[in-house]
Structure 1
């Protein structure tokens, strides 16, 4: 699933292509909104909220989309409609650009004045203008018994972290993914690092946590199961963490992140 920095970049591209321009085409290829027509209306802006995208249109209208696992927005010059493609779920176009939403996990239209209905449950947004690290830490501490590797993925605690940044942040802070939140000694520094990593990568195609841009050298532990740790040389481990259907693969170094609990 795309992480918060990828969604932030998608919002930036959508905003540049659509904001301040009148829609000449809106094509919702989802049954519930198949008859919805926004042509003739101006787009006000597009923002990200965690992993959610909100495109606001005049008339108290917001198009809410979520990429889920495979979704993507592609921006193209205005022209003929793209060929029929079962993955294409939404087209928003103006005289200059067309935004094509492929394999979007969520497509819905809500009142802008009621956006809280779809994003109000989220915790502080790591890339939002109202980012509040103290509030994020407070929310994490509400469930002290929860494993930190699961807590960081809970978007109601803080919004924007995905599996990649979870693994990398925990490695860099030397924290076992199964350590209960209540036993993490410095949540403030952990949350601060997560925000800095997302912010550093939001304008780049690659998500780099090591400072190395070379392919294969960009991450510390994520996606490196069985390969030697860049710090100690021991093999990186991987295991499922969390309850179904929310379980995700976790990567960690057993030496640099001493285990406090055995994964079930």
Structure 2
């Protein structure tokens, strides 16, 4: 699931493949920008901002994309077969003489002036993996609405940028609070630690191919010695702390996982099992 660490890694791969080279092909397969053509312009670089990707080009242009749940960028060598999905799922093709980057299933794709990037990402809070990271601002943002559930507050990219559903569930478990506890009921020291832990987790995973919050660096099976995650994706399985079965609540496309013993407090008001 693309979260801040995953998107940063995608930005690095795109930057390594494209930056410093001139475009030999620029193809955006969305109606609004289908006639746009930056062929011949150099790629200046690709960066991430929270869960957003910004590819900058010579002449003051930026291609803004967001992966959300299913989007992906794939990089291919010349002549290599494209294997990221069927052709009708391709939304962007950026090619140089050395590599071709293909964007699949991108729900957000827009070409804008680099000077106008704030129109796309200016609403974001401090980026957990960015140069603008400010823990005091992030904490202030989270506590600004004391009745808002902690899970919703962590997922709101206007508060701090980079946390998705996996990290939200894991952070709540590590803080021993349920995702439905109002932010105003969290003691200030715990809220401060929550922000610090979020930073530590994303920093620890920014260079790993497989995300972990437990310290296990390799993926293991259910029968393995260690698990990579404390609660996410482990519905019905024993808690790694207390052995109580992990519960799962369904809400749209965002399942929420928690341990009812380690995380006492309010629970889901929708279907839970």
TM bracket (short chain)? over 0.9
Aligned to 1:210: 214
Aligned to 1:166: 168
Q: What is the aligned counterpart of 1:95 among 88, 94, 97?
A: 97
Q: How does 1:96-175 map to 2 (within 5 A)?
A: 96-175=98-177
Question: Contact conserved, 1:178 with 1:263, CA < 8 A, in 2?
Answer: no
Normalised to the residue count of structure 1, the TM-score between the two structures is 0.94
Question: Contact conserved, 1:143 with 1:181, CA < 8 A, in 2?
Answer: yes
Q: Once superposed, which parts of structure 1, at least 4 consecutive aligned residues long, lie more than 4 Å away?
A: 80-84
Deviation digits for residues 108-141 of structure 1 (CA, Å, limit 9, x no counterpart): 1011001000000111111101111110001111
Deviation digits for residues 51-101 of structure 1 (CA, Å, limit 9, x no counterpart): 100000011100001111111111111337859711111010111011111
Relative to 1, partners in 2 of residues 1:34 and 1:167: Cα closer, same or farther, differing over 3 Å?
Answer: same
The answer to whether residue 198 in structure 2 is matched with residue 199 in structure 1 is no
Structure 1 residue 262: deviation in Å? 5.7
Aligned to 2:224: none
Gapped runs of 5+ residues in structure 2?
Answer: 222-226
Normalised to the residue count of structure 2, the TM-score between the two structures is 0.91
Q: Which whole-Å CA distance do the structure 2 matches of 1:86 and 1:31 have between them?
A: 14
Q: What is the aligned counterpart of 1:263 among 254, 263, 269?
A: 269
The answer to whether residue 192 in structure 2 is matched with residue 188 in structure 1 is yes
Aligned to 2:2: 2
Aligned to 2:44: 44
- Alignment length (residue pairs): 260
Aligned to 1:249: 255
Q: Secondary structure at the match of 2:255?
A: strand
Q: CA RMSD in A?
A: 1.7
Q: Secondary structure at the match of 2:167?
A: helix
Gapped runs of 5+ residues in structure 1?
Answer: none
